[in-house]
Amino acid sequence: MNSIPENESLTVEFKSSFNIEVIETLVAFANSKGGSVYIGINDKRKIVGITLNKETVQQLVNEVKSKTAPILIPDAEVSEFEGKQVLQLSIQEYPIKPVSVQGKYFKRIKNSTHQMTINEVVNMHLQTMNSSWDAYIDPIHSIEDLSLEKVQKAIDLLRSRGRNITEDPLSFLVKYDMLREEKITNAAFLLFHKNDHIISTIEFGFFQSDIIIKDSLRSKSDILTQIDEVMNFVKKHINKEVIITGNPQNTERWQYPLEAIREIILNMIVHRNYQSPADSIVKVYPDKIEFFNPGLLPEEITIADLLNNNYRSTPRNKVIADFCKDLGLIEKYGSGIRRVITMCQEEGMEIPKISQMSNGVNVTFIA
């Protein structure tokens, strides 16, 4: 190494000595974008040095190997600064995630290392395997819990879009990998469940003020039905202006661009974290609409990235997102927020305010 980085970061960590925290940080790097731990430098970037010989370095590397699964073998480089030895242990991003140290999993957030939750471990593994939770078998429900009439409606819609589908509803589910060995997936249940179910609960409210609720509704329908249910509730409680043009048909002007509202509703339903116990919530006020959805943005995507369309879409529910795309509900992955912003700007409105709160994302339209 020719120099020492100026600061700790997503890929850099300083440690005064070798300990279990060094291995935890290497694991976090392996679960992220890779990185280096500089041993012999304290967190103030002061060089304190470490006493090493060839056998010592190999012993430290072996300790990393023995305590990680899958096994990590870091690159080791010893350099001298200010007459003191500094050991750099470097690791690349590991292809199959997550990596653990003594049964614990860690991730890197900015310049610090954090232990992962069980859900984070599961989701990271699914993403690595190019899969998602909705693709897995539903351990609770069966074919009897699905409405084959709803499946047939989806088939008819696909046919109307030019798709050549000859399968019956059950064969269709097999074709879309939503039915495997007579067991349904989580996606199949969410899309076509026969009876109302708590997993898809959405709470609606029309608020005169923060404490006065004029109208409320709760939906536990399948998620395709919910798209129209949410849209209808919003339209019921926002203003509509009829503009007389002199033409045979007058023009309707809504308080908000309806296509923008629909796009956010689709995002809320398709990308929701259905493993969370929290419900989606829609609050309509006289001068704003708030949409709250369980599930934070992926760590590599910031709200600024979202607003600037500077990101690559990573659907949380890949099977549902792909199916909704085939149905024509989603036009293109990752472009929805940009279209929403454009539609609001064309109407002379503020762009929606997006924030993360309570392990979810909140989108607010201002009239």
State the pLDDT at residue 246. Answer: 63
Residue 73 has pLDDT above 60, yes or no: yes
Give CA separation, 189 vs 171, 201, 361, in Å: 16, 14, 24
Q: Calculate what percentage of the chain has a pLDDT beyond 90.
A: 83
Six token digits for residue 308: 């600037």
Give the CA angle between residues 283, 286, 292 to the nearest 5°: 20
pLDDT number for residue 354: 97
Amino acid at 282: V
Give 334's pLDDT tier (boundaries 50, 70, 90).
low
With a cut of 90, say whether residue 179 has pLDDT above it.
yes
Q: What φ, ψ does residue 184 adopt, rounded to 5°?
A: -90, 155
What's residue 333's pLDDT? 59
pLDDT digits (tens, 9 = 90+) for 180-227: 999 999 999 999 999 999 999 999 999 999 889 999 999 999 999 999
Q: Could you identify the residue written with the tokens 């690791």?
A: 91
Share of residues in the chain with pLDDT > 70 (%): 97
For residue 244, the model assigns a pLDDT of: 67
Q: Which residue from 139, 191, 169, 201 is spatially nearest to 322, judged by alpha carbons?
A: 191
- Strand segments, DSSP code E, in 208-329 are 213-219, 240-243, 251-254, 280-284, 288-294
DSSP per residue, 67-120: HEESPP--EEEEEEETTEEEEEEEEPPPSS---EETTEEEEEETTEEEEPPHHH
Q: pTM surpassing 0.95?
A: no
Helix (H) or strand (E) holding 360: strand 360-366
Decide if pLDDT at 240 tops 60: yes
250 pLDDT exceeds 70?
no
Per residue in 45-56, pLDDT (tens digit) is 999 999 998 799
DSSP state of 134: G
Does 313 have pLDDT greater than 70?
Answer: yes
Q: What's the pLDDT band for 166 if we cut at 50, 70, 90?
A: very high
Which comes out higher in pLDDT, residue 325 or 336? 325
Question: Which residues lie below 8 Å from residue 224, measured CB to CB, with a gap of 6+?
Answer: 150, 154, 191, 192, 327
At 331 the pLDDT is 72
Average pLDDT estimate for 122-133: 85
C-alpha to C-alpha distance for 50 and 82, rounded to whole angstroms: 12
pLDDT, tens digit, 9 for 90 and up, residues 1-18 = 889 999 999 999 999 999
Q: What structural domains and CATH numbers belong to the chain? A: 12-129 (3.30.950.30), 134-192 (no CATH), 198-366 (3.30.565.60)
